[in-house]
Chain A
Amino acid sequence: MTTRQETLETLARIAGVDAATLAPEQHLVVDLGIDSPKALRLLVELEDRLDVEIEDEDAAGLKTVGDVLAYVARVGG
């Protein structure tokens, strides 16, 4: 499984949706209902998976599924 697929699976599990339904333009809060506790869990799981520390400023830029995928591609390869 690629890092992109793993990220989508993680997002889908936390949001409680099917990974196949995720699209890059979906807003994490508006479309997927990622509230504060879910966002915290998402960041922890991304950090563990990518072995990086995500600064709060970087987390603030993660607004859509596409943002998360782009971030993962940039820092996680």
Chain B
Amino acid sequence: MKQPVPLAPHDPPPPGPLLAGPAPLPPASQRKRTPLRRAGYAVAAPLIHGVVRALWATARVRVVVGAEHLDAALAAHPACVPTLWHEELVAGCAFLVDAFRRRGRPLAFLVSPSVDGDLVEKVVLRAGGVVVRGSATRNGVKSLRDLYRLMRKQGASPFFTPDGPTGPAREAKAGALMLAQLAGMPLLPLSVRPRRAWRLRTWDRLLVPLPFTRVTVAFGPPRDVPADLAGDALELGATAELTSELEGLRALATR
């Protein structure tokens, strides 16, 4: 059997992921921005926002661990990077939108540039959020830079799911850490668990809270990412620590 030929010593190894260009593109949506679709979204966005707000208003939310950490992070910095697992996206969004609105601080969302993202953008804007259109798989590096600018210029805190957008579920990748490091602002790990929820058959087994559910929240302490943290220490060590911390918070919020 033919053996692979090793690289000669002078052959440069492949460049790092950020300079290697975007990941292979997933199939692009075939949907078009038709006038009918725009009109439909204009009607649907306030309806969706209203339904979500009404449902969330029935939830009984209790912060069981680290209630002081969000205020501590925002007192010391213009913004932070709230970070939770993708499966908690729905309750996490609702909780953080409320929490940031009460504090008069903007919360930022990365929304797909696809046509479907237009609807999500309208809903997020209605909820008082700030939107960056981009995709972690299509233009992830540029999206990180756009989020960084929102943090620095508008003091917006970008909400991050470190196992998104496609998993594996509950295994952190380095994006949230790199963003916090670049901005010089802390990452804020948390878990937001509805007691009663639908579990969708998606890769993340997304939790959709049921009306009148109890929701338990656990915050970890704000985590500064040192400017000189790099290489395996960042991409393996720190991501493993983040995974472990989010799993610990998940366990606390599930009790």
Contacts and interface: CB of A to CB of B under 8 A. Distances in A.
B13 A30 contact: yes
A41 B178 CA distance: 10
Interface stretch (B88-96, B212-220, B227-235): B227-235
Contacts of B231: 35
Nearest to B146: A53
A59 B19 contact: yes
Main secondary structure of the interface of A (DSSP, over half): helix
Contact of B12 (A27, A38, A59): A27
A21 B140 CA distance: 32
A62 interface: yes
Given A55-B139, A57-B22, A40 B178 contact: yes
Nearest to A36: B18
Given A29-B16, A35-B16, A53-B142, A41 B182 contact: yes
A37 to B, nearest CB: 5
Interface string A15-38: 000000000000111100011111
Contact of A39 (B18, B22, B181): B18
Contacts of A35: 16, 230-231
B140 A56 contact: yes
Given A35-B231, A44-B145, A60 B178 contact: no
Interface of A: 27-30, 34-41, 43-44, 47, 53-57, 59-60, 62-63
B173 to A, nearest CB: 11
Interface string B40-66: 000000000000000000000000000
Looking at B15, B18, B145, B174, which has the most chain A CB atoms within 10 Å of its CB?
B18
B181 to A, nearest CB: 6
Contacts of B17: 36
A29 B15 contact: yes
Looking at A40, A44, A57, which has the most chain B CB atoms within 10 Å of its CB?
A40
Nearest to B232: A35
Contact of B139 (A36, A39, A56): A56
A35 to B, nearest CB: 5
B19 A34 contact: yes
Contacts of B18: 36, 39-40, 43, 59
B141 A43 contact: yes
10 contacts: A29-B12, A29-B16, A36-B174, A38-B230, A39-B18, A40-B178, A44-B148, A59-B141, A63-B15, A63-B19
